[in-house]
């Protein structure tokens, strides 16, 4: 199966993303209203993919984003360095009172029948102030970039961030990079600026520049206005509902070569069925399916995307790329935080049918 993409054999940067960096406060299984301590995870839908591709898969990655001079910014920048991601920052100076800020995400893990609860403080967020013209894209792409990625969370932050995404994507395409976009539809964010109607207008413009689209059935419905299938799927692991929407996506965006998503059946907060499916250049590709014992579900979708993109970038077959994405996403849910702690050997072993036997 041919994936339909033309990918440069080599470049200075294998994968470059554009998005917001955030710090996530995680009190574990304790709800915030009763919490007295928490862990801090550095995250971002786009950054997570770059961090995973660097730390687990050994690729050269970068992020274009905002950075703020204050202690939280120092913490975030340190984690970016630790994951091996090269930063391209627009710097902001914190005024010591109200920003600009690195956004805070609050997310407990839930437990059993109690679902995780997620809310934000994105007031005066530095990344939301980024705009077209802030970065010298010709210089950034001039050294060579194989793959460029952004997502719907960053697009939802302000009136200016979608224009920056489109500006970057146009330069990326002209330079020969593959362009991907993760819909990552977040209702709370879009509701601040026009809801689903505005989301569809904004995302529709972005997708004119996209080769690879990541998004589930709900993302397609709410973010693009694609109607769902008449018959509901019998299970969240049944790919027919998602695949039934592909033709409608391609009617609007016939240039897209790949559309992929994870499949997740939530039995409880800590027990999920897990799979993935993709439409790849006219053919359907399915991952295996498994049952997950989930430690922290945040970042699992980004874990899938990074493994899937890695497989394509290094020339694996589409079927093997799907397995690598599925395996890495599954492993990521066994770690605390939003980014990987897995090794490539662990990912390949699980993709080939590995088990949880002790490795000696």
Tell me, what's the pLDDT at 228?
A: 80
pLDDT band at 354 (very low <50, low <70, confident <90, very high): low
pLDDT 10s digits, 162-192: 999 999 999 999 999 999 999 999 999 999 9
Residue 119: pLDDT above 80? Answer: yes
Cβ neighbours around 91 below 10 Å, total? 10
State the average pLDDT for the chain. Answer: 95
Tell me, what's the pLDDT at 231?
A: 56
Residue 359: pLDDT above 50? Answer: no
Residue 135: pLDDT above 60? Answer: yes
pLDDT band at 1 (very low <50, low <70, confident <90, very high): low
Q: Which CATH topology does 13-351 take?
A: 3.40.1190
Tell me, what's the pLDDT at 101?
A: 98
pLDDT band at 355 (very low <50, low <70, confident <90, very high): low
The domain limits of the chain are 13-351
In this prediction, residues 328-336 reach a mean pLDDT of 97
**Across the chain, which distance is largest between two alpha carbons, in Å?**
55
């Amino acid at each position: 199966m041919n994936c339909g993409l033309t990918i440069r054999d080599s470049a200075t940067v294998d994968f470059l993303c554009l998005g917001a960096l955030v710090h996530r406060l995680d009190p574990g299984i304790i709800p915030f209203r009763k919490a007295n301590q928490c862990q801090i995870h550095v995250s971002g839908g786009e950054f997570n993919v770059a961090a995973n591709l660097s730390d687990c898969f050994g690729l050269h990655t970068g992020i274009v984003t905002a950075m703020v001079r204050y202690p939280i910014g120092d913490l975030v920048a340190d984690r970016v360095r630790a994951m091996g991601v090269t930063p391209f920052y627009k710097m902001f100076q914190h005024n010591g009172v109200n920003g600009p800020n690195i956004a805070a995400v609050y997310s407990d893990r839930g437990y059993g029948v109690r679902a995780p609860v997620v809310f934000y403080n994105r007031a005066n967020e530095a990344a939301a102030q980024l705009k077209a013209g802030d970065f010298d894209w010709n210089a950034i792409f001039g050294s060579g970039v194989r793959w460029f990625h952004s997502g719907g969370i960053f697009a939802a932050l302000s009136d200016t961030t979608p224009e920056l995404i489109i500006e970057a994507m146009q330069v990326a395409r002209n330079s020969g990079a593959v362009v991907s976009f993760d819909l990552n539809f977040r209702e709370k964010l879009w509701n601040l600026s026009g809801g689903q109607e505005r989301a569809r207008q904004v995302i529709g413009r972005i997708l004119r520049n996209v080769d690879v689209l990541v998004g589930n059935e709900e993302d397609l419905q709410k973010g693009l206005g694609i109607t769902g299938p008449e018959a509901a799927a019998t299970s969240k692991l049944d790919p027919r509902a998602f695949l039934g929407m592909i033709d409608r996506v391609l009617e609007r965006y016939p240039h897209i070569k790949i559309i992929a998503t994870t499949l997740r059946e939530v039995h409880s907060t800590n027990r999920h069925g897990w799979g993935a499916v993709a439409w790849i250049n006219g053919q359907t590709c399915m991952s295996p399916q498994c049952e997950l014992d989930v430690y922290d579900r945040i970042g699992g979708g980004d874990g899938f995307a990074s493994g899937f993109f890695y497989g394509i970038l290094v020339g694996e077959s589409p079927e093997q790329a799907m397995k690598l994405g599925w395996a890495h996403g599954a492993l990521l849910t066994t770690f605390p935080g939003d980014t990987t702690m897995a090794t490539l050997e662990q990912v390949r072993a699980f993709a080939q049918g590995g088990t949880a036997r002790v490795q000696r």
